[in-house]
Amino acid sequence: MLSDRLFFPLITLVIISIVAIAAVWPQGDGARSPAPFGHTPTQQTPAAIAARSREAAVNAADKARSAAAARKDAEAAARTKAALQ
């Protein structure tokens, strides 16, 4: 068996180590940590939000452009088919 004189100091050291690691471990993209420890997550910064908005606008414009081109191609194919009949 492990004596109490060894066990309790070891457990104390483990607990202090866990708390120290938790204090310096980088936070994810989730909710902000409370005041002296936290910082604004990268995905919630105004620059990141603006970048996502720009990317969404570009994607929507590309999608609309390709849909218009596909519609134009389908109309041209239908006119060609009608002319051949």
User: Could you read off the pLDDT of 20-39 as tens digits, one per residue?
Assistant: 988 877 666 566 666 666 66
User: Could you read off the pLDDT of 41-55 as tens digits, one per residue?
Assistant: 777 788 989 999 999
62-69, long-range: CB < 8 A, 24+ apart: none
Q: What number is the average pLDDT over the span 4-32?
A: 85
Give me the half-sphere count of Cα atoms (radius 13 Å) on the Cβ side of residue 85.
6
Q: With beta carbons less than 8 A apart as the criterion, state whether 32 and 40 touch.
A: yes
> Could you give the CA distance from residue 4 to residue 8 in angstroms, rounded to a whole number?
6
The residue ranges of every structural domain in the chain are 4-25+41-84
What share of residues in the chain are helix, strand, coil (percent, to 5)? 80, 0, 20
Q: Which residue has the higher pLDDT, 53 or 82?
A: 53
